[in-house]
Structure 1
Amino acid sequence: MKLSRRGLILGGSAVLAGCASAPPALDPRLQAYAAYPSATPPPPAPVTAVAARGPVIDPYRIVRPDLMARARAALDTHGHRIPLRDRMYLVDFQKFSGEERLYEVDLLGGWVTAYRTSHGRGSDPAHSGYAERFSNEPESYMSSIGAYATAGPSWGPQQGPNVLLDGLEYSNNLARQRAIIIHGADYAEPSFLQTQGKLGRSYGCFSCSHADLQALRERMGEGRLLFAMN
């Protein structure tokens, strides 16, 4: 089944299994979560509201069960760095780069939206469209797997608007040093996919289309989980 870009309602009991039965109040730890300094970007463009949801669907028909389970476990393991539990972001690197494989899972509203994202050129040296290897080493140009905490929107002279990431595990704890971020790229645009049959490769960043970045940058914020797995 192909997942609509507009999102689908997830089974409430399945998604909320690791959460409170009712939407919690705003986590007070948010007040203590330090902001990361960054250059001041221009005012963001308004984001189009998400369209009406579809029928109720079991989330495990959309996201791999083991990916969902590992992400839920990471929410508990790294709770001190991930105070926001309203939604999380999952990346399934087993999937082809032309497929939608970056998922925004709303744990309170019970819906999911999928996006496309690139992997690193070092992870796919033959440019087959599949990530085959992963590394945390600088200059490897590979993608890194594991749990990240979103560290807020930023702006860079090369990539422009982006979302900063902090790696929380040995497999990705050099993310800041390696400048692994979420940013828009021409090689992640639908037009590139249409002509090339797959997305282009990054230097290890989670690149996406410029339109998708606009939505993600507004919603990811600071202190949410991004979990990548092969």
Structure 2
Amino acid sequence: MASAPVRAALEVRPIQISVRPTLDPAGLIRPELLSRAREALDFHAGRIANRDRIYLVDFAMHSAEPRLFELNMISGEVEAFRTAHGRGSDPEHSGFAHRFSNVQDSHQSSVGAYLIAGPGHGTIHGPNVLLDGLDYTNSLARQRAIIIHGADYAEPDFLAREGKLGRSFGCFSTAHADLHTLRQRMGEGRMLFAFG
């Protein structure tokens, strides 16, 4: 009969394997955007308390396309919404954002990582989601009142009529129904990352 140490050495022990989900299995998010967002999530780890979901905006896409992505970091699944860009980012109103700024009254969208600061309610746009810029490219977001809000020019009937969304003053404007969904899901302490 084998001694106790030998028996212990012969026992089969289960191996712990940590399996990460495949992020965005449908391939909706541009790989460069996803890579940069993951880098930003790690860089700002001390500020981002909730890492179960992140939000990404692809300003390289036309405004008619769903380009605000909710990425579930646990399941890997993605849901997409439409969002407008600033009129200063697209002066010709082509539907594509070409310029980005962190300057007051530029009416341009800002790129970079944002901390989602929770639901708010304003006198002009009503219900919204508050954002704080974490990078030099968007550090004045709160002073510029860059938020996520609902807008008639982001509604499906406007898109059907015009072939593109209208333009904001730099905010991430969405359809009112999408804003309702996003306000509930975004909560507070998650990251939104915008990239052109």
| TM-score, normalization by structure 1 | 0.76
SS across alignment from 1:69:
helix
The structure with the larger Rg is 2
Q: In 2, distance between residues paired with 1:123 and 1:98?
A: 15
Q: Does 1:201 align with 2:167?
A: yes
Q: How many residues align?
A: 178
Aligned to 2:8: none
Q: Does 1:73 align with 2:39?
A: yes
Q: Does 1:126 align with 2:92?
A: yes
Aligned to 1:139: 105
Q: In 2, distance between residues paired with 1:177 and 1:122?
A: 17
Deviation at 1:63, TM superposition (A): 0.5
Q: Is the 8 A contact 2:117 2:132 kept in 1?
A: yes
Aligned to 2:25: 58
Deviation at 1:93, TM superposition (A): 0.3
Equivalent of 2:187, from 201, 211, 221? Answer: 221
Aligned to 1:91: 57
Equivalent of 1:117, from 83, 108, 123? Answer: 83
Identity of aligned residues (%): 62
Equivalent of 1:156, from 114, 118, 122? Answer: 122
Q: Give 5+ residue unaligned stretches, structure 1.
A: 1-10, 16-56
Aligned to 2:48: 82
| TM-score, normalization by structure 2 | 0.88
What is the CA deviation profile of residues 163-210 of structure 1, one whole-angstrom value per residue up to 9, with x for unaligned ones? 000000000000000000000000000000000110000000000000
Q: In 2, distance between residues paired with 1:184 and 1:190?
A: 12
Q: Find runs of 4+ consecutive structure 1 residues off by over 6 angstroms.
A: none
Q: Is the 8 A contact 2:58 2:195 kept in 1?
A: yes
SS across alignment from 1:166:
strand
Q: Give 5+ residue unaligned stretches, structure 2.
A: 1-18
- What CA RMSD, in Å, does the superposition of the two structures yield over aligned residues? 1.3
Deviation at 1:110, TM superposition (A): 2.3
